[in-house]
């Protein structure tokens, strides 16, 4: 469709970046990025009209997003950019924008494997545009930069290089690895704004194997260049591995509630650090203030819960401890904190209990409901929640008498 519209409007249009890379790698990728030589916004508008969607324009950068509903009714987006030339006034600065061609657009990208395009308005349809050997590098499974100043221009590319290397089991080319080291020697990581770092870390945490990325970043010296506290000491590395296993375990269960992976890994990265160091670390990693507050709060909550858990376990040894009491202890914790506690504890029994809490106990409901109590003619009020809580408690502790008996008891 974009190709047809491009032809009609006389605008050369290309699919670019990750979409083309993954096409050649035979991997699924739903993120379509288009580049138009000429008026990208005009093409975006035409596309939105055909798709029954709308356009969000960023006139300043000549880019736009077409937002529309796909065949399944889900919201989809297509980014449409105008081919442009970028100047960087100094490393990591915001670009000034000027009109230019697809070659310049591709040249400003990070790696050769991401600098491929497919022309969509051409006949025959779908010519591959490969100025920088991207197709060869995909075949050779190598991450190569397009010029020697690439990491100076944008140090987040050091993290991106590792992410793609680990995701596809490629290798960073020897020269690119040397350039990463140069960038680190020049202390360029210090110049990187926090929010960009956070964005990249979040992407890493969403990979299938974030730990592999972190280990490689550690090996290349990227982690310690970002913040010395990040160095992967063995205990932290082992914990991160367990966290990754726990997340995989949880995802296999297909529960509706999806944990924020970055939060779990950030808890792991700050393992063993005092409060002040953790706060500094999260500041450096560019966490927005509300997220920093959230994660620090979760750490503090876990501290309190650890103490109560210990007390619960001691009682359990005396056989008097109840599941309902454990549920009360764990109730304030987020899913991310629960997964963290599960990974952190070396105690197998506690780990099992936590997993049952996550998968079963926390979702348990009393066998009777407020409607039942209403039907019995009980006046609505605080009594209801008291009765329902007691019924749930009894159920959790295996003391439930069955629905009818519980109702009778309520009366
Ligand atoms: P993913 O599969 O992780 O989404 P992607 O390649 O689509 O990978 P995006 O971050 O969406 O990643 O970027 C889209 C494209 O924009 C990339 O393929 C690359 O060409 C370009 N790009 C993104 N970030 C940078 C950067 N820091 N420097 C240069 N080019 C970049």
Quick: pLDDT tens for 300-355: 999 999 988 888 877 766 555 688 888 988 999 999 999 999 999 988 888 999 99
- 270 CA to middle of ligand 1, Å? 28
Q: From the CA of 2, how far away is ligand 1's center (Å)? A: 21
What are the tens digits of pLDDT across the range 267-276?
A: 999 998 999 9
Compute the distance between CA of residue 110 and CA of residue 392 in angstroms, rounded to an integer. 56
User: Among residues 161, 202, 187, which one has the least CA distance to residue 286?
Assistant: 202
Residue 91 has pLDDT above 60, yes or no: no
User: Is the CB–ligand 1 distance for residue 18 below 6 Å?
Assistant: yes
Q: Is 109 in the pocket of ligand 1 (CB under 6 A)?
A: yes
Gap from CA of 200 to ligand 1 centroid (Å): 11
Instruction: Please determine, for residue 95, whether its predicted confidence score (pLDDT) is greater than 70.
Output: no
Residues β-bridged to residue 117: 16, 129
CB 116 within 8 A of CB 25: no
Distance 357 CA to ligand 1 centre (A): 39
Å from CA of 115 to ligand 1 middle? 9
Give yes or no for residue 110 CB within 6 A of ligand 1: yes
Ligand 1, residue 157: give the atom nearest the CA.
27
ipTM of the prediction greater than 0.90, yes or no: yes
Task: Give me the mean pLDDT over the 86-98 stretch.
Answer: 54
Least confident of 97-106, 182-191, 326-335: 97-106
With a 6 A CB cut-off, is 31 part of the ligand 1 pocket?
Answer: yes
CA 338 to centroid of ligand 1, rounded, Å: 33
pLDDT for 5 beyond 80? yes
Q: Residue 92: pLDDT above 80?
A: no
Q: For residue 341, what are its two tokens?
A: 């506690």
Per-residue confidence band for 375, with pLDDT thresholds at 50, 70 and 90: confident
The arithmetic mean of pLDDT across residues 195-224, rounded, is 96
**What pLDDT score does 321 carry?**
66
Q: How far are the Cα atoms of 23, 92, 169, 201, 228 from residue 162, in angstroms, in the given order?
A: 20, 19, 10, 11, 19
**In angstroms, rounded to a whole number, what is the distance separating the alpha carbons of residues 399 and 397?**
5
Residue 203 CA, closest ligand 1 atom number: 3
Task: Give me the percent of the chain exceeding a pLDDT of 90.
Answer: 68
**Inter-CA distances, 263 with 31, 195, 206, Å:** 24, 15, 11
DSSP 95: P
Most confident of 56-70, 130-144, 346-360, 395-409: 130-144
Q: How far is the CA of 18 from the centre of ligand 1 (A)?
A: 6
- Better-scored residue on pLDDT, 259 or 380: 259
CA 283 to ligand 1 centroid distance, Å: 25
Residue 85 has pLDDT above 70, yes or no: no
| pLDDT for 255 | 79
**Ligand 1 in contact with 156 (CB < 6 A)?**
yes
Residue listed under structure tokens 């997993």: 355
For residue 146, the 8-state DSSP code is S
The ligand 1 atom at the shortest distance from the C-alpha of residue 164 is 3
- With a cut of 80, say whether residue 130 has pLDDT above it: yes
Measured N-to-C along each axis, helices 210-220 and 174-185 cross at an angle, to the nearest 10 degrees, of 70
pLDDT at 98 over 60: no
154 touches ligand 1 (CB under 6 Å)? yes
Q: Nearest C-alpha to atom 5 of ligand 1 is from which residue? A: 18
Q: What is the pLDDT, as a whole number, of residue 87?
A: 55
φ/ψ (deg, to 5) at 85: -105, 135
Atom of ligand 1 nearest to the CA of 33: 14
Q: What is the pLDDT of residue 301?
A: 92
- State how far the Cα of 264 lies from the Cα of 244, in Å rounded to an integer: 9
Residue 114: CB within 6 Å of ligand 1?
A: yes
- If pLDDT is split at 50, 70 and 90, which confidence band does 99 have? very low
Upper half-sphere CA count for residue 397 (Cβ side, 13 Å): 16
Tell me what pLDDT residue 309 has. Answer: 87
- Mean pLDDT score of the chain, rounded to an integer? 89
Question: For residue 94, what pLDDT is reported?
Answer: 56
Which atom of ligand 1 lies closest to the CA of 106? Answer: 20
pTM of the model: 0.87
Q: Using an 8 Å Cβ cutoff, are 370 and 384 in contact?
A: yes
Averaged pLDDT, 220-227: 96
Radius of gyration of the CA atoms of the chain, in A? 27
Q: Tell me the CA–centroid distance for residue 32 and ligand 1, in Å.
A: 11
**Is the CB of 157 within 6 Å of ligand 1?**
yes
User: Given the DSSP bridges, would you call strands 127-129 and 54-58 parallel, antiparallel or unpaired?
Assistant: unpaired
User: Do the bridges between strand 127-129 and strand 32-36 make them parallel or antiparallel, or are there none, so unpaired?
Assistant: unpaired
Mean pLDDT of 133-151: 97
């Amino acid at each position: 469709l974009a190709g047809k519209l491009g032809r009609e409007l006389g605008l050369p249009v290309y699919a670019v970046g990750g979409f083309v890379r993954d096409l050649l790698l035979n991997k699924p990728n739903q993120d379509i990025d288009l580049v138009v030589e000429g008026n990208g916004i005009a093409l975006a508008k035409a596309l939105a009209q055909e798709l029954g969607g709308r356009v969000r324009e960023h006139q300043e950068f000549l880019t736009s997003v077409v937002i529309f509903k796909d065949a399944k009714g889900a919201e989809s987006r297509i980014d449409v950019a105008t081919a442009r030339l970028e100047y960087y006034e100094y490393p990591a600065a915001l670009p000034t924008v000027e009109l230019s061609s697809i070659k310049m657009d591709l040249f400003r990208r990070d790696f050769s494997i991401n600098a491929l395009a497919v022309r969509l308005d051409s006949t025959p349809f779908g010519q591959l545009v490969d100025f920088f050997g991207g197709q060869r590098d995909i075949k050779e499974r190598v991450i190569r930069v397009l010029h020697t100043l690439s990491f100076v221009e944008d140090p987040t590319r050091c993290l991106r290089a590792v992410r793609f290397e680990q995701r596809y089991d490629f290798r960073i080319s020897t020269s690119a690895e040397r350039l990463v080291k140069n960038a680190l020697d020049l202390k360029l990581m210090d110049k990187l704004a926090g929010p960009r770092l956070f964005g990249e870390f979040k992407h890493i945490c969403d990979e299938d194997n974030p730990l592999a990325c972190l280990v490689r970043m550690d090996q290349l010296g990227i982690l310690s260049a970002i913040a010395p506290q990040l160095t992967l000491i063995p205990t932290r590395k082992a914990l991160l591995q367990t966290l990754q296993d726990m997340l995989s375990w949880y995802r296999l269960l297909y529960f509706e509630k999806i944990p924020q992976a970055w939060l779990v890994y950030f808890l792991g990265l700050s393992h063993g650090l005092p409060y002040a160091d953790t706060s500094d670390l999260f500041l450096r990693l560019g966490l927005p203030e509300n997220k920093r507050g959230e994660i620090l709060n979760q750490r503090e909550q876990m501290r309190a819960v650890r103490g109560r858990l210990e007390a619960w376990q001691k009682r359990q040894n005396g056989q008097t401890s109840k599941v309902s009491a454990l549920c009360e202890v764990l109730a304030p914790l987020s899913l991310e904190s629960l997964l963290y506690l599960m990974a952190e504890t070396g105690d197998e029994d506690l780990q099992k209990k936590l997993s049952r809490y996550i998968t079963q106990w926390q979702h348990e409901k009393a066998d009777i409901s407020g409607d039942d109590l209403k039907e019995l003619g009980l006046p609505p009020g605080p009594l209801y929640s008291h009765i329902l809580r007691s019924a749930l408690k009894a159920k959790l502790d295996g003391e439930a008498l069955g629905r009818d008996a519980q109702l009778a008891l309520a009366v």
